[in-house]
Amino acid sequence: MKLEVLCNVENCTYWAEGNQCAADSIFVVGLHNNDADSVADTACKTFEPRKQ
């Protein structure tokens, strides 16, 4: 099953046209003891800056 993952961080290595994430997998963590109550409490660990 293909899962659509959207991302608007254009300077990420995995960003693709149409705000698509082209990573093989996504790793999201909670910022406070692995618990999250809102989007602000999470972070994408898959992010890698695009090489220029």
Residue with tokens 């149409």: 18
The CA angle 32-37-38, to the nearest 5 degrees, is 105
pLDDT score at 35: 87
What letter represents residue 4's amino acid? E
List, for residues 2-47, the tens digit of each pLDDT value: 789 999 999 999 999 999 999 999 999 999 888 899 999 999 999 9
